[in-house]
Amino acid sequence: MEIVIARESGFCYGVKRALHLARETRRQENSTVYTWGELIHNPTVIQELEKEGIIPTENIDNLKEKTVVIRSHGVSPEIYNLLEKKAKKVIDATCPIVKKIQKLTSRLAQQNLELIIVGNPNHPEIKALLGTSGGRAVIIDKESQAQALPFSRRRAVLAQSTQDRELFSRIVALLVDKTQELRVYNTICRSTQIRQQSTSELASRVDVLFIIGGISSSNTNKLYEISKRIQPRTYFIEKAEQIRPEMLLGVKKIGISGGASTPPEAIQEAVAKIKNICQESGYEEITVQCPR
């Protein structure tokens, strides 16, 4: 029996940085610190942070005389100004890669062209980007929405940092036919691209694949969709105890991948649970291949 863990499983650089900044701020302040919304989309981590005195809020009245940390997804300029006015201190943990996309969006919004962002309209990163575009960007996340767009003389298109690369490519291909001059900015971050690629490669060479992460995490959902297209036996698992013996029936090679907000412990717990089930089923030799 073999367990293979995908490359880039677990916390990305931006999430690690935001967690470090929030904890460091809590240590220095020595009192409750707020985050504007949940710092990351993982309920286990959010519960741990709450115990440490790092509390999510989107109620501006909670912030009087308090320090607030902006999460890796960033916020719109309106929210940023509001936080600066109301809170004692603002710690900006927006991922530097997301910051660059915000600057690009703001620059493009001032030009004479239509701006398309391929992303989830309910995701905080996209809400922030809509804000940096001054409300000018058109947000789409389906091919049918691209098909419905009218012909345009000048367009620019970019993506949410965690967008599915294949979907982005398909939407770009549709826009080529509807635009005289199309500028394409591939703003999907490198960590996301490696994560998606390693998950799809793994999906094609294992008998079952577990995607570990928070159910509300957009990038983890994307990994699930990517894997499911290739490997029908793909399971979205929030906690290791959800892995059941029947999911492993008849398998020899098991894959594990995790989203950008999945803590390393969650991956280790999944490995331990699988080993446990396999040992109970009589497998004596179980190897675990970790990413290099």
Rule CB under 6 A: which residues touch ligand SF4? 12-15, 72, 95, 97-98, 161-162, 189, 191-192, 260
* Both tokens assigned to 81: 């100004």
Sign of CA dihedral 283, 289, 225, 239: positive
Q: How far is the CB of 97 from ligand SF4 (least distance, A)?
A: 4
Nearest CA to 137 out of 147, 146, 145, 127 is that of: 127
Produce one character per residue of 114-134: b if its CB has 16 or more CB atoms within 10 Å, e if not. Answer: bbbbbbbeebbbbbbbbbbbe
CA 215 to chain centre: 11
Q: What's the CA gap between 249 and 66, in Å, rounded?
A: 52
- Is 238 catalytic? The answer is no
C-beta of 128 vs 137, nearer to ligand SF4: 128
Q: How far apart are CA 74 and CA 97, in angstroms?
A: 10
Q: What's the closest the beta carbon of residue 222 comes to ligand SF4, in angstroms?
A: 11
Shortest spacing between CB 278 and ligand SF4, in angstroms? 32
Q: Read off the tokens for 201.
A: 């490669």
Per DSSP, 215 falls in state: T
Active-site hit among 125, 225, 241, 280: 125
Strands (E), 160-219: 179-185, 208-212
- Using the minimum distance from each CB to ligand SF4, give the nearer residue, 179 or 227: 227
The residue among 13 and 235 lying less far from ligand SF4, judged by its C-beta, is 13
CB of 246 to ligand SF4, least distance (A): 33
Could you tell me the smallest distance in angstroms from the CB atom of residue 254 to ligand SF4? 25
Residue closer to ligand SF4 (CB basis): 223 or 274: 223
**Which letter, b or e, does each residue of 240-266 get, where b requires 16 or more Cβ atoms within 10 Å of its Cβ?**
beebeeebbeebeebbbbbbbbbbeeb
Residue nearest to ligand SF4 (CB): 14
CB-nearer residue toward ligand SF4: 133 or 261: 261
Strand partners, 36: 57
Q: How far is the CB of 161 from ligand SF4 (least distance, A)?
A: 4
Q: Say if residues 31 and 63 touch (Cβ distance below 8 Å).
A: no
**Nearer to ligand SF4 among residue 74 and residue 255 (C-beta):** 74
Catalytic positions: 125
